[in-house]
Amino acid sequence: RKEVEQDPGPFNVPEGATVAFNCTYSNSASQSFFWYRQDCRKEPKLLMSVYSSGNEDGRFTAQLNRASQYISLLIRDSKLSDSATYLCVEGEGNTPLVFGKGTRLSVIA
Amino acid sequence: NAGVTQTPKFRVLKTGQSMTLLCAQDMNHEYMYWYRQDPGMGLRLIHYSVGEGTTAKGEVPDGYNVSRLKKQNFLLGLESAAPSQTSVYFCASSYSTGNQPQHFGDGTRLSIL
């Protein structure tokens, strides 16, 4: 059974801090990876895709390590509005995406 | 841009009642999904569809039925509601399965008394 493992947290960090989340996936054939953000009592929303070469979107950087089968998300200069649960997601071929249970982040003033 | 729309947003049922949750998407996506999310459990896939007229079981299909008569709509049915089905239900859609991100509706909060 495919699984995505994440530290549930919570990660409590002050505003302006840099925080990193990792997640590991079990399916070595996985081809696509994503990070989603889910606010309390809201639907998951796509934050960013994760490419083999790594990618950056403003304060957010995603990295993929295929050899060790893990994905990372780095958030720089944390804002109060970054407080949410971050879901790690992997996908392969014609099967539905596999979602991790999420890592909860709380940014404190 | 409507995206993925779920109706109703909230519903309270009595044990044994039946109901249908409707999901509609206007992005011309082939694939649609129904999830449930319980506190501390993450998203669990109930059923999904890879195209009009097709359905497939997910991780937790028991107690639910689905239909995809039109490409833009995916219905989730509870034939005889049980308290264990109290949850938040999310519908999602995507262009394909494992290679494309899914786009979610804003959820249906269902309580079974």
Which residues, other chains included, contact B71 with Cβ-Cβ below 8 Å and sequence gap of 6+?
B28, B30, B51, B52
B90·A44 Cβ contact <8 A: yes
Q: What percent of chain B has pLDDT over 70?
A: 99
Does the pLDDT value for residue B32 go beyond 90? yes
Residue-wise pLDDT tens digits, A22-42? 999 998 888 899 999 999 989
Residue-wise pLDDT tens digits, A53-104? 889 999 999 999 999 999 999 999 999 999 999 999 999 888 899 999 999 9
Helix (H, G, I), strand (E, B) or coil at B44: strand
- Among A92, A96, A100, the residue with its CB nearest the CB of B45 is A96
B100·A32 Cβ contact <8 A: yes
The per-residue pLDDT for A1 is 65
Residue type (1 letter), A100: G
Q: pLDDT-derived band of residue B41, with 50, 70 and 90 as boundaries?
A: confident
Specify the DSSP class assigned to residue A82.
G
- Compute φ and ψ for A36, nearest 5 degrees: -115, 155
Contacts of B31 in chain A (CB under 8 A): 96
Interface of A with B in 49-108 (CB under 8 A): 49, 87, 89, 91-97, 99-102
- Among A44, A92, A101, the residue with its CB nearest the CB of B104 is A44
